[in-house]
Amino acid sequence: MGASKTHIFNYSQNTLAVMAKVLAHPARIAILEHIHKHESCMCNDLVGITGLSQPTISQHLTEIKKVGLLKASFIGKNLFYSLNQEKWIALQIPFNTLFTKLNKTPNKTTNEN
Amino acid sequence: MGASKTHIFNYSQNTLAVMAKVLAHPARIAILEHIHKHESCMCNDLVGITGLSQPTISQHLTEIKKVGLLKASFIGKNLFYSLNQEKWIALQIPFNTLFTKLNKTPNKTTNEN
DNA sequence: CAAAACCATTGTAATATTGCAATATTAAAA
DNA sequence: TTTTAATATTGCAATATTACAATGGTTTTG
């Protein structure tokens, strides 16, 4: 069937899965790291750095943009991408929520999810 | 071409991507939450809870097992899965490393990745 | 032993993802 | 206005993922 049955699951589960998917490719992690390290980047840089083709990089950037993690702005004449810090912080919340929840021994007396 | 060019990227990037991929499906998040909440589970429970078929659940469990997040043990006569707490804690490290690294304004004087 | 319960595996189909060549598109420079 | 550059989009091919029916292997019950 191929398509995930997202309707079965709750909002938190689906949201976290979407965020995780963005981090689920090493190129996108490398892109995020590079963009942050250089504060921003003219994204043909990424082609040279990764060795991936320009359309492939563009595609990965689109995936990262889709969840709002990138800000685009002109510096002088060129378009630069930079990390949307607010979104980056926000992204950590569902991860940390799950991390914390599953760290502790569950309390049987409290409610269900 | 369809296959990720993992050789282009470094160990941390590939490792994090693999971990993220495990969390990149709501069913696997639901499974992890359920297993933790009930300490362990007889995994036909998950079929009833999610509405996914038994082979699909089994497949997702295999994915989670592959990264070592599950421990299997017999309780009485039945096979129960439980969360490998050590692995769960360990999984958080690369995520938090990336989270923290990209939180701060990068220090231009320090070294490259 | 036969039936039932549970789970894994296999086979198959549908859809998604990854990647690149070719081709737009857009904006600055000549 | 043409050329150049940077990036986006389209089209296609290869591979991966998701899902389930059918089947197989175990173990427990009857």
Identify the three-state secondary structure at position A76: coil
Min CA distance, A45 vs chain B (Å)? 15
**Can you list the pairs that A66-74 forms with residues at least 24 positions away whose Cβ atoms lie under 8 Å?**
A67/A18, A67/A19, A67/A22, A67/A91, A69/A22, A69/A32, A70/A35, A73/A40
Contacts of A32 in chain B (CB under 8 A): 98, 102
pLDDT, residue A112, reads 40
As a rounded value in angstroms, the CA-to-C1' distance for A21 and D16 is: 14
The answer to whether B64 and B84 are in contact (CB under 8 A) is: no
**Cβ within 8 Å, pair B23-A25:** no
Identify the three-state secondary structure at position B81: strand
> Whole-structure pTM over 0.85, yes or no?
yes
- Contact between the CB of A45 and strand C at under 7 Å: no
pLDDT, residue B54, reads 94
As beta bridge partners, residue A75 has A78
Least confident of A22-31, A74-83, B26-35, B62-71: A74-83
Reported as a pLDDT band with limits 50, 70 and 90, residue B101 is very high
Reported as a pLDDT band with limits 50, 70 and 90, residue B23 is very high
Closest CA relative to residue A69, chosen from A103, A18, A105, A109:
A18
C-alpha–C-alpha distance, residues A34 and A32, integer Å: 5
- Mean pLDDT, chain A, integer: 87
The beta-strand segments (E) located in chain B are 40-41, 70-75, 78-83
C-alpha–C-alpha distance, residues B50 and B27, integer Å: 8
pLDDT, residue B110, reads 41
For residues B12-31, give the mean pLDDT.
97
Reported as a pLDDT band with limits 50, 70 and 90, residue B2 is low
**DSSP conformational letter for B112:** -
pLDDT, residue A110, reads 42
B54-93 confidence digits (pLDDT tens): 999 999 999 999 999 998 877 666 778 999 999 999 999 9
B113 pLDDT higher than 70: no
A34 pLDDT higher than 90: yes
Q: How, if at all, do strands B70-75 and A78-83 pair? A: unpaired
B3 pLDDT higher than 80: no
A86 pLDDT higher than 80: yes
Reported as a pLDDT band with limits 50, 70 and 90, residue B109 is very low
Return residues 50-89 of A near B (CB < 8 Å). Answer: 50-52, 83, 85, 88-89
